[in-house]
Amino acid sequence: MSLSDRPILETINLNKAFYLGEAVYAVNNVNIQVMPGEIAIIVGPSGSGKSTLLSLLGGLDRPISGDILINDQSIVKLNEDQLALMRRKNIGYVFQFFNLIPHLSALENVELPMSIASMSRKEARERARYLLDEVGLTPRAHHRPDQLSGGEQQRVAIARSLANRPAVVLADEPTGNLDSKTRDMVIDLFCRFNKTERQTFVLITHDTSLTQYAHRVITMKDGRINTIEVQNP
């Protein structure tokens, strides 16, 4: 198997439980693989463990057992600061509620991960401008989040997630809070970056109509993997 055939993201017997009087498994013995350049969509009803799985993949939460490999490197035994460095390099995150820094402009929000990664100010600004242009927000670059619509904020968040050219972008219900027109625009962006930059995406959604855009559709129920379908979008 050549290097490009290795999964960029893989979980091995992954478990996460919350203790509410008794152990409730939000993620139960999950084994998935995501190949480089894929769009993987995780679908399932509320409470099926999708968001918990995504937070584990992004190193924002810790499993009770099992392993997570990003580019064949295990991340479960990394400490807080090593995880931060791993995220800086390998993970882009898009939240349902955008989570932009409210007192920074759109441009500065996109620059943020690059500044944290010690990229030069000039280089960071150039890439931030390029990404905002790609998501169609050049005219809104100097607006703060409260001056942008929901769709515009989500496009800023997508641009921010791509800033450091991460191995994987994880998106938690990226269209859950958007109207249908804006939803289509955001999905179009994911597809475009997937095609032009071979960017790998892992998306969580309730919206099964989005699965048509995915290379891999993972269905979850009660914390377990129900089905995994590989397809050509």
Nearest Cα to 225, choosing from 8, 9, 6, 14? 14
> Which residues contact another protein by CB under 8 A?
55, 58, 60-61, 80-81, 84-85, 87-89, 93, 95, 99-101, 103, 112-113, 115-117, 160, 164
Query: Nearer Cβ to another protein, position 117 or 230?
Result: 117
Q: Is residue 19 classed as helix, strand or coil in its secondary structure?
A: strand
Count CB neighbours of 184 within 10 A.
Answer: 13
Token digits of residue 59: 């190193």
Query: Nearer Cβ to another protein, position 102 or 139?
Result: 102
Q: What is the smallest separation between the CB atom of 201 and another protein, expressed in angstroms?
A: 16
Q: What is the smallest separation between the CB atom of 108 and another protein, expressed in angstroms?
A: 9
Q: What is the smallest separation between the CB atom of 111 and another protein, expressed in angstroms?
A: 8
H or E segment and range at residue 178:
none
Q: Is residue 174 classed as helix, strand or coil in its secondary structure?
A: coil
Query: Nearer Cβ to another protein, position 87 or 216?
Result: 87
Query: Nearer Cβ to another protein, position 116 or 228?
Result: 116
Count CB neighbours of 119 within 10 A.
Answer: 18
